Chain A
Amino acid sequence: ETGVTQSPTHLIKTRGQQVTLRCSSQSGHNTVSWYQQALGQGPQFIFQYYREEENGRGNFPPRFSGLQFPNYSSELNVNALELDDSALYLCASSRDTDRVNSPLHFGNGTRLTVT
Chain B
Amino acid sequence: AQTVTQSQPEMSVQEAETVTLSCTYDTSESDYYLFWYKQPPSRQMILVIRQEAYKQQNATENRFSVNFQKAAKSFSLKISDSQLGDAAMYFCAYRSAYNNNDMRFGAGTRLTVKP
A-side interface residues toward B, CB under 8 Å?
33, 40-45, 48, 55-58, 88, 90, 92, 99-101, 103-109, 111
Which B residues are in CB contact (< 8 Å) with A58? Answer: 102
Give 15 A-B contacts (CB < 8 Å), ordered by A residue: A41-B108, A42-B106, A43-B103, A44-B105, A48-B101, A57-B101, A88-B43, A90-B43, A90-B45, A100-B97, A100-B100, A103-B47, A104-B47, A108-B42, A108-B44
A103 & B44 in contact (Cβ 8 Å cutoff): no
The verdict on A42 contacting B91 (CB below 8 Å), with A100-B33, A101-B52, A107-B44 known, is yes
How many Cβ-Cβ contacts under 8 Å join chain A to chain B?
Answer: 61
B99 contacts partner chain A, Cβ-Cβ < 8 Å: yes
Complex Cα spacing A48 to B101, Å: 6
Chain A minimum-CB-distance residue to B6:
A42
| Interface positions of B from 78 to 115, Cβ below 8 Å from A | 91, 93, 95, 97, 99-108
B44 & A106 in contact (Cβ 8 Å cutoff): yes
B45 & A92 in contact (Cβ 8 Å cutoff): yes
Which A residues are in CB contact (< 8 Å) with B45? Answer: 43, 90, 92, 104, 106
B35 contacts partner chain A, Cβ-Cβ < 8 Å: yes
The verdict on A104 contacting B103 (CB below 8 Å), with A42-B108, A43-B91 known, is yes
Which B residues are in CB contact (< 8 Å) with A33? Answer: 101-103
Which B residues are in CB contact (< 8 Å) with A57? Answer: 101
Complex Cα spacing A106 to B106, Å: 17
